Structure formats: C-alpha cells, structure tokens
C-alpha cells in the first residue's frame, strides 16, 4: 500500500473535509494526528510575492507574461522558471500561482500583461517551458485561470458563452498543451461563469475534460474567494482558497454527502490529490516551513536581463520585417498617406531600449 493510500485509510471524515480548504491566505490545512504537513502557496506570475506582500523581503521581478511571449523562446522562459523556483524556495513556498495562460481576446483586458499571447499554441508552449523550469527544481506551478477568463469586466459574475469548438480550440488549448508537456501540480479555476455555470463548478471542463479526457492527476484550487454556493463540494474543485472554509465547510460538505451529490469516492479523490502535492514537495520528509528571505544573485539578474532583451529584440525584428514587406509591395497596394512617416517611427528607439538589448 502506498503512503497516500495508507494515510487516506486512517483519516476520519472530519480530517478529510478539513483539507478541502486553506488554513489562511496562503497555507493548506495540516492533520497533525497523522503527521500530514501543510504546503504554502505564493502569488506570481512575474515573481514570488511572499506571504507579506509589499512588507515582505524583496523578490526578483521577472519579465511579465506578455514580454516572455514576445521572445518566442522557450529556452529563456524555462530559465526564468528556474529563477522563480529559487525565489519560491527563498519565500518558503511550494507552489507558485502561475503561469497565466488566458487569451488576449481584447486589448483592454485588465490582465493581458500577465498572459502570453492571443495565440493558444504559443501560450501553451511558453507555459510548458515556464512550468518545467519551476518543477525541475522540485517545486510546483499552478496554471490559471481555468477557463475562459479573458476580461475583467464583472469578472465575479459574468458568463463566458462559448460553443464547444471555440472552447477547445482557443480557451482550453494552452492548458491542454502545458498539462501534456509539463504536468503542473495545480490548476486554478477562474472567477467567471462558463455557459452560465461558475467555473469552479463547471463539470464539463473540470471533470469531463481536465480530470477525465486529459487524465490530470494534480489538484484544482479556486481563485482567491472564487467560490460561491453549496454546489462547490460536489464538483471538480479540490481546494477552496483562501481559508478558512466557506463553501467547503464541514456542514456544507456533509450535506452534499448526505444528499448524494458528493460521493465518498470523489471526496477521497480530492484528498488523495492534496496528499499527492505534499508528497511531490517532499514535505513528509521535511515538514517544517522555512522563513522568508530575499536573494539577489548575479546569475538571476543575467537571466532576467536576457529575457527582457529577448522580448525587445523579437519585437524590433517583427517591426523591421513588417516595414520590409511594406517596402517590397509599395507598388502593389494602395499607399497610406502617412506610410513614409510610419516606417521611420517604427525604427526609432528610446536610448533605454538600446541599453536593454546589450
């Protein structure tokens, strides 16, 4: 019998239920009687924030997602992931709440900066490299926000109405690619509704596709305060964050068990996944949480500088390419009266950008 199965067989119902929500803003709930420790999360994606936010020890600021996407370079993104793994360790955390792979469907979406692209394939490949960079060092990533969370307007209540083909080809695809390639420890459900159902309760995406078709074996956690009603325990969500429990409270979970909407088998599956995170993080062997600290390493600075330069150089190359195409076809297409000025403006660079690309 595996350690996880052995622990699961010894847990009481109340102990199992206690693990389905966080202890506080960043930590899971331990079960001291059985020596089950707790894991710690910290916010991302362009750094590891730490538990104290602006009052915490300093953190490395990596290029944001849209800049990493502009590099078209999985190798440098993987190295950025390595840096973030070191930062996670410095913050005494085990899971970084990142990467973000929602789609740039509108230029005014409030969190476009932390997503990679309007292209699902590019987003998935960048996320794969980012996750691999973190998890190769024995720490975890939480890919987010699942699913169709591509605007900030009324994000706690709005419903993204999406047909099946669009859902799969655009919104699910970056998650599918990243899960296939790098298998993140966690997936974060989004605030919004999908076709009228809250994403944290949307069985089609969480149970049928994520845990069913894709055979995903990690945990699904909510976005912070992104749970809304008594339907939460019955679906594919494994961990309500932050704690203490609201819709994963003991009385709500027991009511779902009594009504039959939550089975004992599904409850055990949730707990098994949570125990699996503790095992991946090595917390059964090293359960003591470490204090947070800030680090300033020259090798980290070099990687971050390379990532920023890569995004700038790629953007410059695309502008040069567009200008060359415009020049090549100047006799074949109607000419904008501002074309000449347009070309010159594209080649002008602020002095700071010259320094960045060195």
User: Which residue would you say has higher pLDDT here, 357 or 23?
Assistant: 23
pLDDT at 231: 97
Residue 266: pLDDT above 90?
A: yes
| Strand 193-194 to 197-198 pairing | antiparallel
Residue pair 174/118 in contact by the 8 Å Cβ criterion: no
pLDDT at 320: 56
In sequence order, what are the residues at sequence separation of 6 or more whose Cβ sits closer than 8 angstroms to the Cβ of residue 11? 31, 34, 271
What are the distances in angstroms from CA 40 to CA 50, 52, 86, 140, 229? 10, 13, 15, 10, 25
Q: Which residues are catalytic?
A: 223
Minimum mean pLDDT range among 33-37, 114-118, 285-289, 354-358: 354-358
In sequence order, what are the residues at sequence separation of 6 or more whose Cβ sits closer than 8 angstroms to the Cβ of residue 122? 69, 72, 116
| Strand 140-146 to 186-189 pairing | parallel
C-alpha 89/C-alpha 290 separation (Å) is: 8
pLDDT tens digit string along 92-113? Answer: 999 999 999 999 988 888 899 9
The sheet carrying 41-43 orders its strands as 41-43, 95-97, 140-146, 186-189, 219-221
Q: What's the mean pLDDT in 145-165?
A: 93
pLDDT at 318: 55
Mutual angle of helices 173-182 and 120-135, in 10-degree steps: 30
pLDDT tens digit string along 297-311? Answer: 999 999 999 999 988
pLDDT at 184: 98
pLDDT tens digit string along 309-349? Answer: 988 765 555 555 544 554 544 444 433 333 233 232 333 43
Confidence of residue 282 (pLDDT cuts 50, 70, 90): very high
pLDDT at 346: 32
Per the listing, tokens 């350690």 go with: 3
Q: pTM to 2 decimals?
A: 0.88
Give the mean pLDDT of the chain: 89
Domain boundaries, the chain: 3-280, 298-357
pLDDT tens digit string along 50-90? Answer: 998 778 789 999 999 999 999 999 999 999 999 999 999 99
User: Which residue would you say has higher pLDDT here, 225 or 107?
Assistant: 225
The sheet carrying 193-194 orders its strands as 159-160, 193-194, 197-198
CATH class of 3-280: alpha beta
* Token couple for 82: 């390595």
Q: What's the mean pLDDT in 159-173?
A: 97
Residue pair 346/338 in contact by the 8 Å Cβ criterion: no
What are the distances in angstroms from CA 151 to CA 67, 119, 155, 156, 164? 19, 16, 7, 11, 19
pLDDT at 153: 87
Q: What's the mean pLDDT in 280-291?
A: 96
Q: What's the mean pLDDT in 232-238?
A: 98
In sequence order, what are the residues at sequence separation of 6 or more whose Cβ sits closer than 8 angstroms to the Cβ of residue 333? none
């Amino acid at each position: 019998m595996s350690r996880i199965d052995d622990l699961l067989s010894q847990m009481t119902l109340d102990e199992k239920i206690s693990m389905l929500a966080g202890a506080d803003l960043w930590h899971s709930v331990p079960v001291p009687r059985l020596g089950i420790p707790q894991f710690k999360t910290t916010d991302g994606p362009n750094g590891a924030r730490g538990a104290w936010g602006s009052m915490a020890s300093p953190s490395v600021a990596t290029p944001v997602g849209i800049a990493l996407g502009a590099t078209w370079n999985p190798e440098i993104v993987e190295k950025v992931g390595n840096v973030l793994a070191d930062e996670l360790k410095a913050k005494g955390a085990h899971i970084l709440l990142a990467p973000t792979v929602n789609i740039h469907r509108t230029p005014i979406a409030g969190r476009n900066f932390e997503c990679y692209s309007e292209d699902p394939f590019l987003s998935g490949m960048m996320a794969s490299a980012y996750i691999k960079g973190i998890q190769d060092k024995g720490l975890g990533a939480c890919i987010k926000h699942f699913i169709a969370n591509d605007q900030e307007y009324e994000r706690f209540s709005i419903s993204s109405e999406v047909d099946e083909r669009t859902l799969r080809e655009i919104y699910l695809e970056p998650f599918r690619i990243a899960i296939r390639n790098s298998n993140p420890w966690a997936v974060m459900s989004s605030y919004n509704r999908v076709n009228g159902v809250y994403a944290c309760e949307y069985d089609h995406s969480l149970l049928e596709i994520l845990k069913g078709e894709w055979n995903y074996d990690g945990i699904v956690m909510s976005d912070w305060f992104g749970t809304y009603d008594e339907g939460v325990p019955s679906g594919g969500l494994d961990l309500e964050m932050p704690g203490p429990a609201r819709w994963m409270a003991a009385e709500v979970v027991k009511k779902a068990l009594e009504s039959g909407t939550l089975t004992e088998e599904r409850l055990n599956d949730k707990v098994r996944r949570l125990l699996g995170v503790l095992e991946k993080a090595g917390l059964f062997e090293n359960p003591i949480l470490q204090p947070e600290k800030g680090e300033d390493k020259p090798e980290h600075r070099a990687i971050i500088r390379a990532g920023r330069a890569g995004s700038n150089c790629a953007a410059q190359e695309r502008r040069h390419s567009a200008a060359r195409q415009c020049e090549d076809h100047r006799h074949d297409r109607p000419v904008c009266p501002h074309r000449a000025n347009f070309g010159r403006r594209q080649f002008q660079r602020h002095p700071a950008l010259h320094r960045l690309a060195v």
